[in-house]
Amino acid sequence: MHIILTGATGSVGAAALRHCLASPNITRLSILSRRQFSLPTSEGMDVQKAQIILHDKFDTYPSALTDMLKGADGCVWAQGISQTEVSKEEYIRITYDYPLAAAKAFSTLSEKDHFNFIYVSGEGADPSEKTWTLFGKIKGRAEAALRALPSTPPHTALRVFNVRPGFVDPPDQRHKKKLSRRLVYGAIAPLLRLLPSQVSPSDVLAKVLVDLATGDGNALASGVGVEDEGRTLRCVGIRRLGGL
């Protein structure tokens, strides 16, 4: 299968990248990135199937780019940023505008009858936008808009899954080197030991994301952590499907 990945240098995206490179189900991986970076070369990872495509305007997909992506079967949209790191306007652009533009552009890429679009949202997302947090409002707004796309031609091939991880715990120390990361981990670690159900280990999360991207696109079976007619997966559901 041919899968598209964004956000490959972030904690969630990097874990998804490693899982994609190791997955025999994925024969081609297109990574959309603003900059070049080194692919992981651990044993069992096939870097030959991966291509980094430089792209810096994630609200625009010219034909030259979509031609390169033609035949893709799914996308893991792991691109994102903290609401504390950018202005409100930029946060909305990255969190809402970018994934909506991508889903629309990707909806006709697959040669199959469906294209899986996996949106990495987060616990606290509220599609009703009644929450007071910017994060919850805009993530929820994106979830609702993405879910509405498949009922609107020419996007009917889309199969959308909104995945809401809790606190994402990287399996290595690479993403704990930033001061902001160290402060967050230090402050929240004691609480997480008491509430493990709210933790999404990045390797487990990556497996679930890639499984959804390479799946048949059908709604998830009902169960703990599955909502919105099988199209929204919460943290406890991620852990359950990931074998925790």
- Dihedral class, residue 64 (left if φ above 0, else alpha if ψ from -120 to 50, else beta): alpha
Q: Are 47 and 39 in contact (CB under 8 A)?
A: yes
| pTM score, whole prediction | 0.92
In the chain, what percentage of residues exceed pLDDT 90?
83
- What CA dihedral angle connects 202, 205, 211 and 213, to 10 degrees? -90
What amino acid occupies position 203? D
| pLDDT tens digits for range 21-60 | 999 999 999 999 999 999 998 888 999 999 999 999 999 9
What is the secondary structure of the chain as a DSSP string? -EEEEE-TTSHHHHHHHHHHHH-TT-SEEEEEESS--PPP--TT--GGGEEEEE---TT---HHHHHHHTT--EEEE-----TTSS-HHHHHIIIIIHHHHHHHHHTTT-SSS-EEEEEE--TT--TT--SS-HHHHHHHHHHHHHHHGGGSTT-TTEEEEEE---EEE-SSSGGG-SHHHHHHHHHHHHHHHH-GGGEEEHHHHHHHHHHHHTS--PPPPS-TTEETTTTEE-HHHHHHHTT-
Phi/psi of residue 123, nearest 5 degrees: -60, 135
78 in Cβ contact with 33 (< 8 Å):
no
Dump pLDDT digits (tens) for 138-184. 999 999 999 999 999 999 999 999 999 998 876 554 444 555 555 55
State the pLDDT at residue 194: 63
State phi, psi for 160 to the nearest 5 degrees: -95, 135
Instruction: Report, at the CATH architecture level, how domain 2-172+198-241 is classified.
Output: 3-Layer(aba) Sandwich (3.40)
State phi, psi for 23 to the nearest 5 degrees.
-85, 125
Q: Is the pLDDT of residue 122 over 90?
A: yes
Q: Starting at the earlier edge strand, list the strands of the sheet with 50-54.
A: 50-54, 28-33, 2-6, 74-77, 115-120, 158-163, 232-233, 226-227
- Reported as a single tens digit per residue, the pLDDT across 2-16 is 999 999 999 899 999
Question: Does pLDDT of 213 surpass 70?
Answer: yes
